[in-house]
Amino acid sequence: MDFDHVMRSQYDSPSSVRTEEVTSDVRKGPWTAEEDALLANHVKIHGEGRWNLVARRAGLKRTGKSCRLRWLNYLRPDLRRGNMTLEEQLLILELHCRWGNRWSKIAQHLPGRTDNEVKNYWRTRVQKLAKHLKCDVNSKQFRDAMRCVWMPRFLEQIRASTGQFRASTQGPSDRPAEDPPRTHGIGSGYPVYDDHRDSLPELSSSVSSSDSSDPRFSSSPSPNQAGGIGSECFGLGSGDGPNYWTGCAQWWRPGVDAGEQEDINGCLVGEDSLESLWNEEDAWFLQQQLLE
DNA sequence: AATTATACCAACCGCTTCGGA
DNA sequence: TTCCGAAGCGGTTGGTATAAT
Residue A41 sits in the same domain as residue A155: no
Shared domain check, A182 and A59:
no
CA A291 – C1' C14 distance (Å)?
Answer: 45
Measured CA A100 to C1' C10 distance, in angstroms: 11
A98 CB closer than 7 A to any strand C atom: no
Tell me the pLDDT tens digit for each residue of A160-183: 776 654 444 333 333 333 333 333
Co-location of A71 and A180 in the same domain = no
**Average pLDDT rounded to a whole number, residues A276-286:** 42
At which of A75, A101, A126 does a domain end?
Answer: A75
Q: Write down the pLDDT at residue A108.
A: 84
Rounded Cα distance, A87 and A201, in Å: 9
For chain A, give the percent of residues with pLDDT over 70.
46
Q: How many domains does chain A have?
A: 2
d(CA A187, CA A192): 11
What CATH number corresponds to the domain at position A20? 1.10.10.60
Is residue A80 a part of any domain in this protein? Answer: no
Q: Output the average pLDDT for chain A.
A: 59
**Number of helices followed by number of strands (H, E) in chain A:** 15, 0
Whether A256 shows a pLDDT value over 60: the answer reads no
A122 and A179, same domain (yes or no) = yes
Q: Would you say residue A13 lies in a domain?
A: yes
Same-domain status, A71 and A92: no
| Residue A211 in domain | yes
State residue A263's pLDDT score: 53
pLDDT at A268: 54
DSSP-assigned letter for residue A230 = G
Together in a domain, A54 and A158: no
Cα–Cα–Cα angle for A198, A154, A276, rounded to 5 degrees: 165
In angstroms, the CA of A73 and the C1' of C17 are apart by 20
A205 within domain boundaries: yes
A258 and A128, same structural domain? yes
Co-location of A30 and A174 in the same domain: no
More confident residue, A81 or A254: A81
- List the nucleotides on chain C closer than 7 A to a protein CB: 5-12, 15-16
Q: Please return the burial class of A102, using the count of CB atoms within 10 Å of its CB with bins 0-12, 13-18 and 19+.
A: middle
> A234 and A182 in one domain?
yes
The pLDDT confidence band at residue A273, using thresholds 50, 70 and 90, is very low
Give nearest nucleotide to A21 (CA–C1'). B12
Give the model's confidence band at A57: pLDDT under 50 very low, under 70 low, under 90 confident, else very high: confident
Q: What's the CA A45/C1' B21 distance, rounded, in angstroms?
A: 28
Nearest DNA or RNA nucleotide to A55 (CA to C1'): C6
Nucleic chain C: which protein residues 119-138 of A have CB below 7 A from it? 119-120, 123
- pLDDT score for A267: 54
Nearest nucleotide by C1' position to the A65 CA atom: C7
Mark A76-96 as b/e (b = at least 16 C-beta within 10 Å). eeeebeeebbbbbbbbbbbbb
Which residues neighbour A208 within 8 Å (Cβ) at sequence distance 6 or greater?
Answer: A87, A202, A217
A81 occurs within a structural domain: no
**Can you tell me the mean pLDDT for A277-284?**
43
Q: Are residues A185 and A111 in the same domain?
A: yes
Residue A131: band (very low, low, confident or very high) from pLDDT cuts 50, 70, 90: confident
pLDDT (0 to 100) of residue A41: 87
| pLDDT tens digits, one per residue of A15-47 | 333 333 333 477 888 888 888 888 888 888 888
Q: Which domain holds residue A259?
A: 86-291
